[in-house]
């Protein structure tokens, strides 16, 4: 080998190291390892084996044979159609006859000039392959790939070194072996880094799942929400990538941005882990850790009992005095019973909450509250306490202003929790994306009152995902799930009202993001026919601020 060739191959080795460090795709990385090793050693064929988790087999990760036009694994998309190489026989003896297994078990490289004359190894399979294909397997070079802890990752095997000038098959030289060992070492580092990055990524995702499960254990309603919102957000981001017209036609998210959005969506409500359950899951106005309506029902029962006792005593006194029953007293008693039943039913109805409570109903709550009931000590109490009246008079939903503030504070807690985490560079925007789903385009949202221009597109699409999931969710205790057309119409009104991003809403409808999600998560009766042209606000410019 002449001197210029050595310098050229050393330069090639440097370039290979750079390429291996830069490659992020694990399949392409394996291909880069093998192709680089073939190129620098002039090998016609080769295989990269990876050891399995049980460390009992070497599986074929990628295989190439240039002269035969064979390529499996890597960018080919075709898995290697060969069974793994066992490291041990059925009786437990180490498999020292296969050179790849021998290299894996001993950690020693193997360089064989000619498989047909080599001793100590079983090349029966190789010879059978040659006989079937007409190929002539001759020189072999097997190199172990070990990580920084000297743990075996796999084996690099090269076949049939070619003379760089005439192309004749020759043995692998000592220089070839040294270069292959150097590549195997660099490859092991690259594979280890890729594995560690994958493990850290998996750890992060599992940690996030643990947080979601913790919220789920605390509240099945918010837990389901935490799992479903990412589905909508990811679908909307993919729809943006597909869009080729309109204001967002040029916007295309990178793979890292998609992953960042996924993490942010999974964590967008992590602050709810600090929110009291009886507030998060408050299904009725009187609910705390239990629904106090049952206490109110008991008081109504006491009023009926006292009214019945008073009426019966009056009749008994009349009978003892020889007087007939008083029709007016009987009529008054039945009227009392009917009124109490009506008032009890009214309290049960307003306790459920709704979109809007009429002032007349709020006033009636106060009137009913002034009724008095007597306890076992004879002490009189109002039928409803001031706190119960305050809760029953909530005009929208079931939460008091104080409880709504507690709920709203979850986003502040979310932002603080996420900002305290040392996210890597490619996830640095997670707090901003996750923390923006309650902001509005007109700056009237919370907690920071950001406007559309002050938010990323990812944060703005999170708002749509969060609202759409809430409108269509079937597991909320305080409302019925909406149909697709109802939910889209409300979103359209929110677009015109400056609440959600108008361009993202139009893409949400145009690309039918709602339908992909609905087919997987909504009940059949919720999936009604949607006419985009009848959706409020769709393709209509919102009024200028």
What is the rounded CA–CA span in Å between residue 142 and residue 123? 14
Per-residue pLDDT of the chain (545 residues; tens, 9 = 90+): 444 466 666 667 667 666 666 666 667 777 888 888 898 899 999 999 999 989 999 999 999 999 999 999 887 888 898 899 999 999 999 999 999 999 999 999 999 999 999 999 999 989 998 999 999 999 999 999 888 788 898 999 999 999 988 989 999 999 899 988 888 888 777 778 777 878 888 888 888 878 777 776 676 665 578 889 999 999 999 999 999 999 999 999 999 999 999 999 988 988 888 877 777 778 788 888 777 889 999 999 999 999 999 999 988 888 888 888 888 988 999 999 999 999 999 999 999 887 789 999 999 999 999 999 999 899 999 999 999 999 999 998 888 888 888 877 888 899 999 999 898 888 999 999 999 999 999 999 989 999 999 999 999 999 999 999 999 988 766 678 899 999 999 999 999 999 999 999 999 999 999 999 999 999 999 999 999 999 999 988 777 65
pTM of full prediction above 0.85: no
Sign of CA dihedral 447, 448, 449, 452: negative
265 and 510 Cβ atoms separated by less than 8 Å: no
154 and 61 Cβ atoms separated by less than 8 Å: yes
The confidence score (pLDDT) of residue 220 equals 61
Q: Which CATH number fits domain 219-275+402-534: 1.10.1740.10, 3.40.50.10140, 1.10.3210.10, 3.40.50.2300?
A: 1.10.3210.10
The confidence score (pLDDT) of residue 179 equals 87
Q: 310: number of CA atoms within 13 Å, CB side?
A: 13
496 and 542 Cβ atoms separated by less than 8 Å: yes
Which of 252, 276, 263 has its CA nearest to residue 212?
A: 263
Which of 486, 267, 445 has its CA nearest to residue 355?
A: 486
Does CATH number 3.30.450.40 belong to domain 3-196? yes
Q: Find the length of the chain.
A: 545
Give the DSSP letter string of 271-302: GGGGS-HHHHT--STTBSSSBTHHHHHHHHHH
Q: Where are the domains of the chain?
A: 3-196, 219-275+402-534, 293-398
What is the rounded CA–CA span in Å between residue 187 and residue 185? 5
Supply the DSSP symbol for 247: T
The confidence score (pLDDT) of residue 221 equals 60
The confidence score (pLDDT) of residue 19 equals 66
Burial of 521 (0-12, 13-18, 19+ CB in 10 A): middle
Cα dihedral value 87, 93, 94, 99, nearest 10: -90
């Amino acid at each position: 080998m002449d001197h210029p060739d050595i310098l050229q191959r050393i330069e090639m080795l440097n370039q290979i190291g750079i390429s291996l460090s830069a490659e992020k795709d694990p399949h392409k990385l394996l291909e880069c390892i093998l192709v680089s090793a073939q190129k620098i050693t002039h090998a016609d064929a080769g295989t990269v084996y990876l050891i399995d988790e049980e460390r009992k087999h070497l599986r074929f990760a990628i295989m190439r044979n240039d002269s035969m036009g064979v390529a499996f694994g890597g960018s080919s998309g075709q898995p290697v159609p060969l069974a793994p190489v066992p490291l041990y026989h059925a009786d437990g003896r180490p498999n020292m006859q296969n050179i790849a297994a021998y290299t894996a078990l001993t950690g020693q490289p193997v360089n064989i000039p000619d498989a047909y004359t080599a001793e100590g190894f079983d090349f029966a399979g190789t010879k059978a392959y040659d006989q079937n294909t007409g190929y002539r397997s001759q020189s072999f070079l097997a190199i172990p790939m070990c990580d920084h802890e000297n743990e075996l990752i796999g084996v690099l095997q090269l076949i049939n070194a070619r003379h760089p000038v005439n192309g004749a098959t020759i043995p692998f030289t000592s220089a070839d072996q040294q270069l292959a060992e150097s590549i195997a070492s660099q490859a092991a580092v690259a594979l280890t880094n890729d594995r560690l990055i994958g493990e850290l990524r998996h750890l992060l995702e599992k940690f996030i799942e643990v947080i979601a499960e913790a919220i789920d254990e605390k509240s099945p309603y918010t837990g389901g929400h935490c799992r479903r919102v990412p589905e909508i957000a990811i679908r909307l981001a993919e729809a943006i990538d597909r869009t080729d017209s309109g204001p967002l036609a040029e916007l295309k998210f990178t793979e890292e941005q998609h992953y960042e959005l996924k993490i942010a969506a999974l964590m967008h409500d992590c602050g709810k882990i600090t929110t009291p359950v009886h507030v998060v899951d408050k299904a009725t106005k009187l609910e705390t850790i239990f629904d106090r309506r049952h206490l109110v029902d008991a008081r109504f029962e006491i009023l009926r009992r006292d009214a019945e006792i008073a009426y019966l005593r009056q009749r008994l006194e009349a009978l003892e005095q020889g007087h007939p029953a008083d029709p007016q007293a009987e009529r008054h008693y039945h009227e009392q019973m009917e009124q109490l039943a009506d008032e009890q039913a009214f309290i049960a109805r307003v306790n459920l909450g709704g979109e809007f409570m009429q002032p007349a109903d709020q006033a009636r709550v106060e009137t009913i509250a002034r009724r008095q009931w007597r306890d076992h000590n004879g002490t009189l109490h109002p039928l409803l306490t001031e706190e119960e009246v305050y809760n029953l008079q909530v005009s929208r939903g079931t939460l008091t202003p104080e409880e709504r503030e507690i709920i709203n504070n979850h986003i502040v807690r979310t932002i603080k929790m996420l900002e305290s985490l040392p996210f890597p560079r490619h996830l640095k925007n997670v707090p901003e994306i996750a923390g923006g789903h309650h902001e509005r385009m007109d700056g009237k949202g919370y907690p920071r009152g950001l406007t559309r221009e002050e938010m990323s597109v990812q944060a703005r699409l999170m708002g749509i995902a969060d609202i759409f999931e809430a409108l269509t969710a079937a597991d909320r205790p305080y409302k019925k799930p909406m149909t697709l057309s109802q939910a889209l119409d409300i979103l359209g009104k929110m677009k015109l009202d400056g609440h959600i991003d108008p361009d993202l809403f139009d893409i949400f409808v145009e690309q039918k993001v709602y339908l992909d999600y609905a087919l997987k998560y909504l009940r059949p009766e919720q999936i009604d026919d949607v006419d985009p042209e009848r959706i409020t606000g769709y393709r209509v410019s919102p009024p200028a601020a």
